Amino acid sequence: MRVGLFVTCVNDTLFPETGKAVVTLLRRLGCAVEFPEGQTCCGQMHVNTGYRDEGLRLARRFLEVFAGYDAVVVPSGSCAAMVREQYPKLAAGMGAARPGAFAGAHRGRTRFAEAVAAVTPRVYDLSEFLVDVLGRTDVGAYFPHRVTYHPTCHSLRGLRVGDRPTRLLRAVRGLELVPLPAADECCGFGGTFAVKNAAVSAAMCADKVAGVEATGAEVLCAADNSCLMHIGGTLSRLRTGVRVMHLAEILAATEEDR
Amino acid sequence: MSGTFLGMPAFPRNAEKALLNSQLRFNLRNATHTIRARRAAVVDELPDWERLRAAGKAIKDDALRNLDRYLVQAEEAVTRAGGHVHWAADAAEAGRLVADLVRATGETEVVKVKSMATQEIGLNEILRDAGIVAAETDLAELIVQLGDDLPSHILVPAIHRNRAEIREIFRERMADWGRPAPPDLTDDPAALAEAARRHLRERFLTAEVGISGANFLIAETGTLVVLESEGNGRMCLTLPRTLISVVGIEKVLPTWRDLEVFLQLLPRSSTGERMNPYTSTWTGAAEGQEFHLILLDNGRTNALADEIGRQALRCIRCSACLNVCPVYERVGGHAYGSVYPGPIGAILTPLLRGTATDLDASLPYASSLCGACYDVCPVAIDIPEVLVHLRAKGPHPPAERLGMKAVGWTLNRPARLRLAQRAASRLRRLVPRRRLPGPGAAWTDTRDVPAVPEESFRAWWRRTEGREGGAR
Ligand code: SF4
């Protein structure tokens, strides 16, 4: 099975350890992982902020780069949801938005729609790939810490990953999983929302952080570094001492790492 | 707070002000969490909720697709039943029609059933300018009116007020409108309700003209339907000699049978009840009564012309999306500057009014796109999808456009991204963790910035894997 890693632009640039952890983990489980270097970004930030054309250009690139893979693994719920949930909508909307377009545009549209249909069903968030494709919940990890898990909106309501991440965490040796109060409430990141409506975003995060602190956990885990950058940035500013970690990094940890 | 929604500043500024009001945040948090839990419990009871929801969506879509046909059918049915039908293109025309109809009766006082459509067109102000006093009879709407306030929730317009505040409003203002509050009024809910009941009863018994909206208009029979909890609506609909109903054209349902679906969807989604306490239906004019139906467009045909936005017209105003919205929960309804607050307001208001004002242009951004609103909507309006669509249509600030283009340009070629990453890692020590300049300052007000790593993932891969493994 050819597995392509879509590391995402944020992880690539700011959180390379997450990408390394995915590579380590998948290799340990017997997968041949490739990182196609033509990849950059799924286009989510552009599309969600209202820059559809720029987003579409990036989407085209993504579809081209990942066309040949049996599975594409994404260590980010929101980027995986962008590809799987929003690309088909973009394809449908292309027909709607420009009714009088010329024939070339029509062909471009059809090609995009076909590429979306071909690639997106094989795009998986990390926990989906581990549980559904590899059939593993115990990935042989060891992480002797008290951990709480924030499900993130796009994993929860976009991808509907359900309890896959917590099943994976429960199987980690040494790990004590404590439930997060109001876990399914948004942390207030929302991409450019965090800057455009900074005050509301901060108020939402304050409640999320209060919930994290109430658990007494040492580590807050999620499957999306964007949300973690926001919550972690607040935890750090408040000097709570709680660390944030991507799910992949916990699942990649073993006894040898000690 | 008084009078009108016009001239409100942009959403982020409104929101920031609202966030400073801790009483408001406390009231809202309590109220929305209570009703949220109630809704979830009664929705979970129905094994076929998703199928009901799909049915509601399908019926509304059919109604919207064939709106022209159904509206004419409804007009004919209402006329046949002795009612008069008027068409209003916008708020001003609808207001003028109502004012003229009231004037023709010679009355200067009317009673009102709570109605979003009449709030949307600012009817109370229009009537006031015409020398007519319009008295609200819904308890929460009464609190808003007495307090010279604006509604902040679709279903519970006074959700931002608590008992103590309501007691004060009753004591200070009831006398200006009719029967005063008893001098020993406490903030016990039963006492407050009793004071309101006595005050309102006098209004009902003297009013000759009633004004209502409607939750549904059934094309087949010309029947109007109002769902309410207090019974005040029923009094307004039946006691006065003249009844005027202002109804948005999107309220049409094709057949009487369709109502069954919505009588399940609406109460469970809005009040978290299995069944609605008072459901009133009327067709044309009752004996000895005169009935006028005003069909209101006011931007609805514009919304209908928007292929992605038109789904917002399926909305049955249940307010479930408000009650689960984390943004609404923190800032309340006034920040949205419209009678339609929360997630539905963030899409419906710009669809109806356009995005010419600062506020209306900022509404599609008043969401973190968390998707909770879409999950609870009983007619499956994909609110995040419409938000993103409106963002693409709306105006963008020039500086942002430039920045987004620059980022897009960089991301469009891996080589450019690699260069940018290399530059970032060289300058990594210069990135302040606590005080970013420019738009980044909004981030560092409350959050630290992550440290830029020495080596990007891409650079690590190249260093350790060479160029094999899917390089292209
Ligand atoms: S958008 Fe949906 S959830 Fe919100 S008020 Fe309308 S019908 Fe209810």
CATH number at residue A189: 3.40.50
* CA distances, A43 to each of A119, A230, B231 (Å): 16, 20, 52
Let me know whether A145 and A93 are in one domain.
Answer: no
**Does A99 have pLDDT greater than 60?**
no
∠ at Cα B375 (B373, B380), nearest 5°? 90
Locate the ligand 1 atom nearest the alpha carbon of residue B154 and give its number. 5
Let me know whether A122 and A218 are in one domain.
Answer: no
**Residue B256 DSSP symbol:** G
Residue A257 within any structural domain of the chain: no
Let me know whether A236 and A171 are in one domain.
Answer: yes
Question: What residues have CB less than 8 Å from A80, skipping those under 6 apart?
Answer: A74, A123, A124, A125, A128, A154, A155, A158, A159
User: What is the CATH code for B11-301?
Assistant: 3.40.50.10420
Instruction: Count structural domains, chain A.
Output: 2
Question: From ligand 1's centre to the CA of B323, what distance in Å?
Answer: 10
**Residue B157 DSSP symbol:** T
- Residues B161, A56: Cα–Cα separation, whole Å: 46
Let me know whether A31 and A116 are in one domain.
Answer: yes
- pLDDT band, residue A109 (cuts 50/70/90): confident
Query: So what's the pLDDT on residue A98?
Result: 53
Domain boundary among A129, A152, A185: A129
CB B219 within 8 A of CB B71: yes
Query: So what's the pLDDT on residue A100?
Result: 55
Residue A186 within any structural domain of the chain: yes
Let me know whether A60 and A148 are in one domain.
Answer: no
**Does A179 have pLDDT greater than 60?**
yes
- Residues B155, B149: Cα–Cα separation, whole Å: 16
The tokens for B395 are 């105006």
Let me know whether A121 and A206 are in one domain.
Answer: no
Residue A15 within any structural domain of the chain: yes
| Nearest-CA residue for atom 8 of ligand 1 | B318
Chain B nearest-CA residue for A69: B470
Nearest alpha carbon to residue B295 among B60, B80, B83, B4: B83
The tokens for A245 are 């970690």
Backbone phi, psi, residue B257, to 5°? -60, -30
Nearest alpha carbon to residue A200 among B12, B373, B441: B12
Let me know whether A32 and A107 are in one domain.
Answer: yes
Let me know whether A109 and A147 are in one domain.
Answer: no
Nearest alpha carbon to residue A72 among A6, A136, A144: A6
Residue A179 within any structural domain of the chain: yes
Q: Is B447 on the interface with A (CB under 8 A)?
A: yes
Residue A236 within any structural domain of the chain: yes
- What are the residue boundaries of the structural domains of chain B, listed by start? 11-301, 406-464
CB contact under 8 A, A40 and B411: yes
Find residues 341-370 of chain B whose CB sits inside 8 Å of chain A.
364-370
Structural domain containing residue A79? 2-129
Residue A116 within any structural domain of the chain: yes
CB B142 less than 6 A from any atom of ligand 1: no
Residue A213 within any structural domain of the chain: yes
- What is the SS3 assignment for B145? helix
A45 to chain B, closest Cα gap in Å: 9
Let me know whether A146 and A49 are in one domain.
Answer: no
Let me know whether A161 and A178 are in one domain.
Answer: yes
Let me know whether A115 and A175 are in one domain.
Answer: no
Could you report the average pLDDT of every consecutive run of 10 residues in chain B (472 residues)? 67 93 90 96 97 98 98 98 98 98 96 95 96 94 93 90 92 92 93 93 91 97 95 90 98 98 97 95 93 98 96 98 97 94 97 94 96 98 97 87 89 90 83 76 87 93 72 39
**Helices marked H in B278-335:** 300-304, 320-324, 326-331
**Interface A-B: count of C-beta contacts within 8 A:** 201
Q: Is A196 on the interface with B (CB under 8 A)?
A: yes
- What is the SS3 assignment for B178? coil
Locate the ligand 1 atom nearest the alpha carbon of residue B320 and give its number. 3
> Which range, of A135-139, A148-152, B353-357, B382-386, averages the lowest pLDDT?
B353-357
Query: So what's the pLDDT on residue B472?
Result: 39
Let me know whether A144 and A119 are in one domain.
Answer: no
Q: Which residue has the tokens 């972690």?
A: A232
- pLDDT band, residue A110 (cuts 50/70/90): confident
What b/e string do you get for B8-34 counting C-beta neighbours within 10 Å, with b at 16 or more?
bebbbebbbebbeeeebbebbeebbee
Q: Is the pTM of this model over 0.90?
A: yes
CB B3 within 8 A of CB B147: no
CB contact under 8 A, B450 and A203: no
